[in-house]
Chain A
Amino acid sequence: MRKEVILAGFGGQGVMSIGKNLAEAGVEEGLEVSWVPSYGPEMRGGTANCTVILTDERIGAPLVDHPTEIVVMNRPSLAKFEPVLRPGGTAFVNSSMIPERVGRTDVRAVYVPCDEIAEKLGSPKVGNMVMLGAYVAATQVLKVETIEAMIHAMFTGRKADLVPMNLAAFHQGIACVTF
């Protein structure tokens, strides 16, 4: 098993943190993981991305030419990464922000209205949790319970009341995936 994921979006959409969540959950489950951020002379409102590898083998190169999945939260990210997605791979598309459909026929597309779901739940901040749910459901590389435990561990003390909303966002993301 080897998942090579590129996650991309505007700064603030939480793509770096979805990547970190995947990497942390991978460590919990005993996988080899790596997380590499794009960094550079970034512009406010510009596009950020990170590369995450989850595998049961030794990781060599932490950057990838052709990811097995792309997670795109905005239009420029789909335009940039759809062409490099590996044939047979999956594109996770935030359909709240991206009206276009995936044009390629040799890849699977999963459309997730992250922002709409987050709004309905009462916080635009949980859109990334919705997408995390969709990724976990569609790829089945990580256990749902691992992420649930992580969400509980992430929000403690005064922030503990954020747990139900994040769990709800995560599960609504799972529900977006049809097989």
Chain B
Amino acid sequence: MQKREIWKGSEAIAEAAIRAGCRCFFGYPITPQNEIPEYMSRMLPQAGGVFVQAESELAAINMVYGAAASGVRAMTSSSSPGISLKQEGISYLVGAQLPAVIVNVMRGGPGLGSIQPSQGDYYQATRGGGNGDYRTVTLAPATLQEAVDLMQDAFDIADTYRNPVMVLADGLIGQMMEPIVWQDRPGRSLPPKTWAAEGRRGRTHNNFVTSLYIGAEECEEHNLELNRKYAAMEANECRWEELMTEDAQLILVAFGTPARVAETAMRNLRQEGWNVGLLRPITLWPFPTARIRELAGKSHVKAFLDVEMNLGQMLDDVNLAVNGQRPVHFYGRCGGAVPHVSEVEQAAQKVLEEVQ
């Protein structure tokens, strides 16, 4: 058996990024993810990389743009209010077709909000908080093992499509400790970065990185090209985990920390004889719409209960997937509060009694 090591979430995410080949980190401090830049400031230079504490979040995301344009693996991390400040830069990264990884360790909002765990940025991550038609693959880890595994995937997905990837964790994942096995994950075979602005290198032309397409026709063509990439991401990158959905009357849908709470609630309810299952989206975009729709059409499935640390954001996507075939209920806590197992059990039991 490979060695299990106990790590703190934020530090594990940073170490995983370095192992994934990240060589440039730009950030600005904010709770509850300060251990990421702190770890990077210490360890990235030892790996031959560059750490810069930027003067602001805007500067940090634009440094990511510059580094990514040169072809190096670059990332930034922040928590909710800081990620809001980075939205313009994320839109520009997509427009300029630059790969990068952005980690959001979410805290309570809106505004400065609180520093406790939240999932209030689901809309922002999956709909895009910047301007223009754009998409970012959004990965949502529920354990520290998954968080470190997804960091490798995040850089690979970014490079595959030349598009930024968002890793959406919450304050609890960032602050907790759990054992991790550092696995040698084979990276994807990736196209060479022939587009990188890294000097002329004997080419007949300069590589030029921009998101400006000033004419309507060329800008439309650019958007359609990006759209083909979004379609490929939807076709290839969607992930989720299912537990005990085969005979479930009620399917809980949750991601990140609430998925762990929902899993415990599910096991407790199973012991009491209730047929409950769990579907946990791992990618929030692309969302496992087709699978949820398929489950909604099964005769044993009577209802869904969506559990989040917000007031019902992924709920929209669950509703779109279920498409009225079954009732969709919601239980959420917000502003930094984490749902209790007993609360989820009660909410689930209420739905189960209704559908009997």
- Smallest beta-carbon distance B155→chain A, Å: 27
Q: Mark A25-66, 1 if CB is under 8 A from B, else 0.
A: 001000011111101110000000000000000111111110
Among A41, A60, A62, A65, the residue within 8 A (CB) of B115 is A41
Question: Is the CB–CB distance between B6 and A39 below 8 Å?
Answer: no
Given contacts A27-B6, A60-B267, A61-B260, contact A34 B116 (CB under 8 A): no
- Smallest beta-carbon distance B102→chain A, Å: 23
Chain A residues near B338 (CB, 8 Å)? 63
- Smallest beta-carbon distance A164→chain B, Å: 26
**B228 within 8 A of partner (CB):** no
Chain B residues near A23 (CB, 8 Å)? 6, 177
By size class, the interface of chain A is 20 to 34
Chain A residues near B42 (CB, 8 Å)? none
**A20 within 8 A of partner (CB):** yes
Chain B residues near A39 (CB, 8 Å)? 31-32, 115-116, 171, 175
Question: Is the CB–CB distance between B261 and A60 below 8 Å?
Answer: yes
Distance between Cα atoms of A110 and B263 in the complex (Å): 33
By size class, the interface of chain B is 20 to 34
Among A27, A34, A60, the residue within 8 A (CB) of B176 is A34
- Smallest beta-carbon distance B139→chain A, Å: 20
Residue of B nearest to A32 (CB): B179
Q: Mark B251-265, 1 if CB is under 8 A from A, else 0.
A: 000000100111111
**B4 within 8 A of partner (CB):** yes
Given contacts A24-B6, A33-B179, contact A65 B340 (CB under 8 A): yes
- Smallest beta-carbon distance A19→chain B, Å: 9
Chain B residues near A65 (CB, 8 Å)? 340-342
Among B116, B179, B261, the residue within 8 A (CB) of A27 is B179
Question: Is the CB–CB distance between A62 and B267 below 8 Å?
Answer: no
Which residues 27-77 in B have Cβ within 8 Å of A in the complex? 31-32
**B178 within 8 A of partner (CB):** yes
- Smallest beta-carbon distance A68→chain B, Å: 14
Among B4, B31, B176, the residue within 8 A (CB) of A35 is B176
Distance between Cα atoms of A40 and B114 in the complex (Å): 8
- Smallest beta-carbon distance B336→chain A, Å: 8
Question: Is the CB–CB distance between A40 and B116 below 8 Å?
Answer: yes
Q: Mark B1-39, 1 if CB is under 8 A from A, else 0.
A: 000111000000000000000000000000110000000
Chain B residues near A60 (CB, 8 Å)? 260-264, 267, 341
Distance between Cα atoms of A39 and B8 in the complex (Å): 14
Chain A residues near B257 (CB, 8 Å)? 62
**B140 within 8 A of partner (CB):** no
Given contacts A40-B116, A60-B260, A60-B267, contact A35 B177 (CB under 8 A): yes
Distance between Cα atoms of A58 and B260 in the complex (Å): 10
Question: Is the CB–CB distance between A33 and B175 below 8 Å?
Answer: no
Chain A residues near B176 (CB, 8 Å)? 34-37, 62
**B83 within 8 A of partner (CB):** no
Distance between Cα atoms of A64 and B340 in the complex (Å): 8
- Smallest beta-carbon distance A14→chain B, Å: 16
- Most chain B CB within 10 A, of A58, A63, A64, is at A63
Chain A residues near B4 (CB, 8 Å)? 27
Distance between Cα atoms of A58 and B264 in the complex (Å): 9
Q: Can you give 28 A-B contacts (C-beta < 8 A)?
A: A27-B4, A27-B6, A27-B179, A33-B6, A34-B178, A35-B176, A35-B178, A37-B176, A39-B31, A39-B32, A39-B115, A39-B116, A39-B175, A40-B116, A58-B263, A60-B260, A60-B261, A60-B263, A60-B341, A61-B260, A61-B265, A61-B341, A62-B176, A63-B172, A63-B261, A63-B338, A64-B341, A65-B340
Interface, chain A (partner B; CB < 8 A):
20, 23-24, 27, 32-37, 39-41, 58-65
Interface, chain B (partner A; CB < 8 A):
4-6, 31-32, 114-116, 171-172, 175-179, 257, 260-265, 267, 338, 340-342
Q: List the 10 shortest-distance A-B pairs measured between CB atoms, nearest first.
A: A60-B264, A60-B263, A35-B177, A61-B264, A61-B261, A36-B176, A60-B260, A27-B179, A61-B341, A27-B6
